Structure 1
């Protein structure tokens, strides 16, 4: 089985939303996501949107970024129970495409939210270089706590410079 990373379209987003893994569905419901309108909203507001696609099984995950405001993006990611099969491809895409895109582009900040008890998200965010920033108590529609994660271009530039200096 091979996972390809391709540009997401409405149909892929709809498929993943219709087959969401349970924790993603709970998290999105806590944010009062309109599941019916979400594919159109993502396609209209996206800076980029990708799909982890298996040509035998179909889409496993969607991730990308929308513009929150000038120079600030909001990252998102959600998937089916096939997320684990796609995780390596997702992390590789973020490291090889997304991070350089952000460092070379006009974005100085990307932010994302996750339910506070999502240790899987905390591990994923660490893999892609995002830092926990704050606990948002009672942020969810039913009072759920969330963690705000951030990715700052300046932090990544200084880390890259240190890595390059250490390598020489």
Structure 2
């Protein structure tokens, strides 16, 4: 069954948050002092929030929320099966989410990713985000992060075909539906 993108619900996001991939759990743990799946899901419902379903099951949450006028934060996290959703999320990002955020007057969209989350870093770059800087010690326990962004000048001008390499690798590495890496941070997040 193909990936289906639907508007996020508290129930679906809570399920995903309760079943996070180790990489996403690590990234969230070092950014938030106290969190629960329900609190993470509730916070994620701000702005535009979507769920990628695979075989009818919610496997990844993603979206973007305005932090202040013109500044948005993109995020994503998921279960071990998220990697199989990456192609669908990427297509939706370019076709719908990027345009929705731009239509709201976004000048800048940021995403942060744990420096140790290699797939997230590659995915952000392939989504057209620019790596701006290393954030040394950004995590609660001194973990390093990278800051990525899209600006109005270039944020919706990346071809979906540029992302094929990472998506193919993610789908291929997850043959049994048991993947273990992917994006958070921002669209990753």
The verdict on a shared fold, with TM-score over 0.5 as the criterion, is yes
Which secondary structure state, in structure 2, belongs to the residue aligned with residue 37 of structure 1?
Answer: helix
Compared with structure 1, are the counterparts of its residues 24 and 119 closer, same or farther at alpha carbon in structure 2 (3 Å cutoff)? same
Q: Which protein is richer in helix relative to its size?
A: 1
Q: Which residue of 2 aligns with 1:16?
A: 16
Compared with structure 1, are the counterparts of its residues 18 and 156 closer, same or farther at alpha carbon in structure 2 (3 Å cutoff)? closer
Which secondary structure state, in structure 2, belongs to the residue aligned with residue 34 of structure 1?
Answer: coil
Q: Which residue of 1 aligns with 2:166?
A: none
Which TM-score applies when normalising by structure 2?
0.77
Deviates more, 1:95-104 or 1:128-137: 95-104
Q: Which consecutive unaligned segments of at least 5 residues does structure 1 have?
A: 161-168
Q: Which residue of 1 aligns with 2:5?
A: 5
**Contact 2:129/2:155 (<8 A) preserved:** no
In structure 2, what is the Cα distance between the partners aligned to 1:54 and 1:114?
24
In structure 1, what is the Cα distance between the partners aligned to 2:137 and 2:54?
37
In structure 1, what is the Cα distance between the partners aligned to 2:155 and 2:73?
17
In structure 2, what is the Cα distance between the partners aligned to 1:130 and 1:136?
16
Query: Higher relative contact order by CA 8 Å / sep ≥ 6: 1 or 2?
Result: 2
Corresponding residue pairs, total? 156
**Contact 1:91/1:127 (<8 A) preserved:** no
In structure 2, what is the Cα distance between the partners aligned to 1:130 and 1:110?
9
Q: Which protein is richer in strand relative to its size?
A: 1
In structure 1, what is the Cα distance between the partners aligned to 2:152 and 2:116?
27
Residue 103 of structure 1: CA displacement? 3.3
Q: Which residue of 1 aligns with 2:68?
A: 69
In structure 2, what is the Cα distance between the partners aligned to 1:102 and 1:9?
19
**Contact 2:60/2:79 (<8 A) preserved:** yes
CA displacement 1:115-151 (0-9 Å, x = unmatched): 1121101111122111111111011000000001111
Which secondary structure state, in structure 1, belongs to the residue aligned with residue 111 of structure 2?
Answer: strand
Which secondary structure state, in structure 1, belongs to the residue aligned with residue 154 of structure 2?
Answer: helix
- What is the correspondence of 1:95-110 to structure 2 with a 5 Å cutoff? 95-110=94-109
Q: Max radius of gyration: which structure?
A: 1
Which TM-score applies when normalising by structure 1?
0.87
Which secondary structure state, in structure 1, belongs to the residue aligned with residue 59 of structure 2?
Answer: strand
RMSD of Structure 2 on Structure 1 (CA): 1.6
Residue 47 of structure 1: CA displacement? 1.6
